[in-house]
Amino acid sequence: MSATVRKNFVFDEEIAMHLEELAKNNNQSMTSFVEDMIEEKYGSVKVKKRLAAFKRSIEIANEIGKDLMEDKTIQSIKAEMDV
């Protein structure tokens, strides 16, 4: 079971009413509703972070590949394979 943390937020009165109404319409507590909204938003952030990390790993692999292939021709690679 994960630990809970108390956070206090101050909302504009109209926003607070919207939150209450949205939570009621979804048969949730306001806390549960806000948690779901945060997780939904964070899901897209997590995907963007993973995509950025994946792109960076491809860039690194390409850089390493260039270093390994430096001064090599197709003929020299074929010659090495025939050995």
Average pLDDT of the chain is 87
Contacting residues for 30 by C-beta, under 8 A, at least 6 apart? 19, 20, 23
76-81 mean pLDDT: 74
Share of the chain above pLDDT 70, in %: 90
pTM, two decimal places: 0.58
Indicate the domain borders of the chain: 13-82
DSSP the chain: ------------HHHHHHHHHHHHHTT--HHHHHHHHHHHHHHHHHHHHHHHHHHHHHHHHHHHHHHHHTT--HHHHHHHHH-
| Confidence band of 81 (pLDDT split at 50, 70, 90) | confident
Confidence of residue 80 (pLDDT cuts 50, 70, 90): confident
